[in-house]
Amino acid sequence: MNTLAEENYLKSIYHLSLNAENVSTNQLAALLNTKASSVTDMLKKLADKELINYTPYQGVTLTPPGEKIAINIIRKHRLWEFFLVEKLNFKWDEVHEMAEEMEHISSNELIDRLDRFMGYPKYDPHGDPIPDCDGKFKVHDLKPVSAIEINESGIICGVRDHSAGFLQYLEKQGLTIGKKIKVEDIIEFDRSMILQMETKTVQISREVANNLLITL
C-alpha cells in the first residue's frame, strides 16, 4: 500500500490536473504546503512506483493506476464528508479537515458499506460528485454565477472555494446547494450581482460570484 504522504500527493496531482494538463512542482508545493525540493523527492518516488509520469522540469501527469488511487481517496473523502453532515449533523464548513484524516482509512470494504448505509449518495455536502466503487462519476457541467447575464437563472450546485470562511458566508446568505437564484441586476461599477432568491434578494461581489457554481 501507499503511505499517507504518497496518497496526499496523488490526490493533489489529480485535483491540479483538472485545470492544466501537466502539474508543476511549484503548484504541488503550494497546494501541499511544502517546499519544491520536497516535492521533487516525492515525484521521483511516485515515478519509480509508476503512479505518475515524470519528466524533470516538465511537470507530471498521473498514470492510470495513479489516477485510480487518487479517485479512490477522493471517493473516501466525499463519502466521509457526507456521513459527517447527514448522519452526525455537522455543518458543511466543518467537515473538510476531518475528512482529510478519514480518507486514509484503508479498507475499501468499509467504504463500500458506508456508501450503501447512506443510500449511495451522488454528491457530497459541497456539491462535488462522489465516485462510485468503480471510480465512475458524473462531471456535471457547472458554471460560475458570474458567467450568466441579467434575468438568467440557475440552481446552486457547487462551490469553487471550499474554505470554511466562504462556506459560512454562503450559509448566512442562504446561498446553499439546491437553492434557485436569478440575476436581477449587475452593478456597473464593480460588477457585483444582485440575486433574486425564493424569499429574498442578496447582493454578492464578483469574487463571490466567481466561486459559486450553478446549473442552468
Partner DNA sequence: AATAAAATTTAGATTAGTCTAAATTTATTA
Partner DNA sequence: TAATAAATTTAGACTAATCTAAATTTTATT
In the chain, which ranges are continuous DSSP H helix?
A: 4-17, 25-32, 36-48, 64-86, 96-102, 108-117, 164-173, 206-211
3-state secondary structure of 111: helix
Residue 26 or 106 having the CB closest to DNA:
26
Residue from 20, 35, 147, 215 in contact with DNA (CB under 7 A): 35
How near is the Cβ of 33 to DNA at its closest, in Å? 7
Residue 93 or 128 having the CB closest to Mn ion:
128
Give yes or no for a contact between 169 and 162, defined as CB atoms under 8 angstroms apart.
Answer: no
3-state secondary structure of 43: helix
Interaction of residue 102 with a second copy, rule CB under 8 A: yes
Residue from 23, 62, 74, 114 in contact with a second copy (CB under 8 A): 114
How near is the Cβ of 1 to DNA at its closest, in Å? 11
Residue 117 or 201 having the CB closest to a second copy:
117
Choose among 67, 3, 68: nearest CA to 41. 3
d(CA 99, CA 75): 11
Write out the binding residues for DNA, residues 44-83 only, by CB under 7 A.
Answer: 44-45, 54, 56-57, 59
- C-alpha dihedral sign at 69, 70, 75, 78: positive
Residue 84 or 208 having the CB closest to a second copy:
84
| Residues contributing to the site for DNA (CB under 7 A) | 3-6, 24-27, 33-45, 54, 56-57, 59
